Amino acid sequence: MIDFEHMKQIARTTHSKIVFLVIDGVGGLPHPETGKTELESATKPNLNRIARESLCGLIDPISPGITPGSAPGHLAIFGYDPVQYNIGRGVIEALGIDFKLKPGDIAARGNFCTIDNKGLIIHRRAGRISTDKNTRLCRLLSEITINGVEIFVLPVKEHRFALVLRGEGLSPELTDSDPQQIGLAPKKVEASSSEAWKTAEIVNEFVAKAQEILRGESPANMVLLRGFSCRPHIPSLSEIYKLKPAAIASYPMYRGLARLVGMQILPTGETLTEQLSTLSHHYADYDFFFVHFKSPDSRGEDGDFRAKVEAIEELDKALPSLLSLNPDVLVVTGDHSTPATLAMHSWHPVPFMLKSKWCRPDNVTEFSERACLSGGLGRFPATEIMPLAMANALKLDKFGA
């Protein structure tokens, strides 16, 4: 595949519009009784109509057999090698609560936990305390001050919080304090490289002060930290493709990922109808739109086959407003599969379709796993989607004379 430097040389700005509709967790597995997957079970005339006019295939977000987290799944769709651009857990946690990480910020994932009077961990999640309690404790920990660094302690959910350090000369090259098992004491955070010595001291000071503050609390009387990381340098979609991109997503995590690759975040509502109305409203202002639809993944993770089918049907019903915009390129796919039978993200390749005046349609007449298998794109890496979309939008010059 050509690299970003070559892409920059052939990409051009035009008036054509590209829309990526990402149906989170859309791929599935057959229901044991019917032998049909969620997509095969859904009534979805609009998705099927798009399939008939599209070039279809199946994507591997990372590589065969590898189950993607949400971050690598989306980065691959946006054209970034998800192994090379591996985003740390701390950063993901901060993105997931819409925190605007600045370059140089260090983020970690935090757990409230329970230690006994010898200092040994007896519950790594403090019995999953309520988010309310978490919020109150984070407010207490936010009072901690350490010279030369700004500290953010941000509640996430239940026992989980994000810690962000902002200051000069910080480094994320730190070991975890979380030993990942009970019966041990939380570990001292150590610098994995000499640049991180100062940061290690700061973090250990934070942990000591946190322990002091939480001493009287029960069950959440200590913190565990892991996944220290900072916002990676990722060339933006504008730099690589000369696009003016915007994201329409209801969940903070996906807005965060979109922000990482340089998309403008458009305020929107909770429902797909509201999201698509946001799309119509801003259609003239951008040339690339990422629309994220979350519920098929959530229903898949619940293990609720029927609810996932209904989420797909809900999407299908909302599609006419998108189709009426008639984007020059419409991509419909997912960031990974979430089969309801497995009730988790999975490694199975994800159905894909690209509709454009200039695509070479195949014989696929239905949007499903089995149907897309015989599509014109076959099985292919998700990182090839962006060049294909750009080409079909006539936004790429030829390569070489």
Residues that bind its own copies (CB under 8 A): 1-3, 6, 10, 29-30, 37, 62-73, 82-83, 86-87, 89, 92-93, 227, 342, 344-348, 358, 360-363, 369-370, 373-374, 376-380, 384, 386-392, 396-401
- Between 66 and 208, name the residue whose CB sits nearer to its own copies: 66
- Between 48 and 70, name the residue whose CB sits nearer to its own copies: 70
In this structure, are residues 383 and 84 in contact, taking their beta carbons and an 8 Å threshold? no
What length is written for the chain?
A: 401
* Residue 313 token pair: 């049907």
Element (H, E) at 344: none
- Write down the least CB distance from residue 252 to its own copies, Å: 14
Cα–Cα distance measured from residue 249 to residue 18, given in angstroms and rounded to the nearest whole number:
16
Indicate the Cα dihedral angle 26, 71, 321, 305, nearest 10°: 20
Cα–Cα distance measured from residue 299 to residue 41, given in angstroms and rounded to the nearest whole number:
15
CB atoms within 10 A of CB 15: 9
- Write down the least CB distance from residue 174 to its own copies, Å: 17
- Between 88 and 219, name the residue whose CB sits nearer to its own copies: 88
Cα–Cα distance measured from residue 388 to residue 386, given in angstroms and rounded to the nearest whole number:
5
- Between 35 and 103, name the residue whose CB sits nearer to its own copies: 35
- Write down the least CB distance from residue 191 to its own copies, Å: 21
Q: Locate tokens 């014989």: which residue?
A: 363
Rounded (5°) CA angle 177-180-182: 105
- Write down the least CB distance from residue 248 to its own copies, Å: 22
DSSP state of 136: H
- Between 63 and 192, name the residue whose CB sits nearer to its own copies: 63
- Write down the least CB distance from residue 238 to its own copies, Å: 18
Cα–Cα distance measured from residue 318 to residue 326, given in angstroms and rounded to the nearest whole number:
14
Element (H, E) at 120: none
- Between 70 and 199, name the residue whose CB sits nearer to its own copies: 70
- Between 219 and 227, name the residue whose CB sits nearer to its own copies: 227
- Write down the least CB distance from residue 358 to its own copies, Å: 7
Cα–Cα distance measured from residue 48 to residue 54, given in angstroms and rounded to the nearest whole number:
10
Each residue of 183-215: b (16+ CB within 10 Å) or e?
Answer: eeebbebebeeeebebbbebbeebbebbeebbe
Among candidate residues 141, 183, 147, 189, the one with its CA nearest the CA of residue 168: 147
- Write down the least CB distance from residue 120 to its own copies, Å: 25
- Between 68 and 186, name the residue whose CB sits nearer to its own copies: 68
- Between 92 and 330, name the residue whose CB sits nearer to its own copies: 92
DSSP state of 223: E
As a whole number of Å, the end-to-end CA separation of the chain is 18
